[in-house]
Amino acid sequence: MPVIDRIELVAKKKSLRILNICGIACIGVWLIMVLSAETFKTDDFRSLLLIGIFWSLLGKLWSEDDGLFIEWRNDEVEFKTHNASGIISIKALKRIDIGLDEIKAFSEADEVKIVDIEHFTDYNTRLRIKENFTLLQKEVSAI
C-alpha cells in the first residue's frame, strides 16, 4: 500500500505574519512620535532606520523557508526543500538512505536526489517524514 501524505513547513508563516504586524505597529508608533514632536531629530531617523533594518532582515530570513513541503503520492514523491526541489519516481527507485538531516533517494539510473529535512525542526514532523520514507523503502525493497 503506497504512502499518501503531505507535510508542509508552516511554523515560520505564523511567525512572519506576527513580525509584519509588529513592524507595522512600530512604524505607526514612530510616526505618531515624530508628527507630535515640534522638531525632527536625527535620533528619530536612526530609530526608524534601526526598526526598518531589523524588520527587513528578519523578514528575509524567515521568508526563505516559506513554501517548503514534501508530498507522497501513489507513484512519486514531490518535494521542495531549502536546497533543492524535484520529483522522485517510486518505480525508478533502487534504495533510500535515511540520515539525520537528509534523505538520499538512489534511482536505477544512478541519480541521487537529496531531500534536506534540516528546516523541519519539529520532532513529530521529522519523525513522520522518516516513517513515511521508511515505509517507502520497504515498498521499494519488496518490488
73 and 128 co-located in one domain: yes
CB atoms within 10 A of CB 9: 21
pLDDT at 38: 66
* Residue with grid cell 525632527, as numbered in its chain: 40
Question: Is residue 1 situated within a structural domain?
Answer: no
Q: Could you tell me if 28 and 88 are in contact, meaning their C-beta atoms sit under 8 angstroms apart?
A: no
Question: Is residue 24 situated within a structural domain?
Answer: yes
Range of the domain at 98: 67-142
Q: How far is the C-alpha of 40 from the C-alpha of 110, rounded, in Å?
A: 66
The model carries a pTM of 0.70
Across the strands, what pairs with 72? 5, 77
| Average confidence (pLDDT) per 10 residues, the chain, 143 residues | 78 76 82 72 73 78 78 91 88 92 91 90 90 90 77
26 and 77 co-located in one domain: no
137 and 107 co-located in one domain: yes
130 and 98 co-located in one domain: yes
Q: What is the CATH number of the domain that holds 120?
A: 2.30.29
pLDDT at 42: 67
* Angle, vertex CA 26, rays to CA 22 and CA 31, nearest 5: 150
CB atoms within 10 A of CB 8: 14
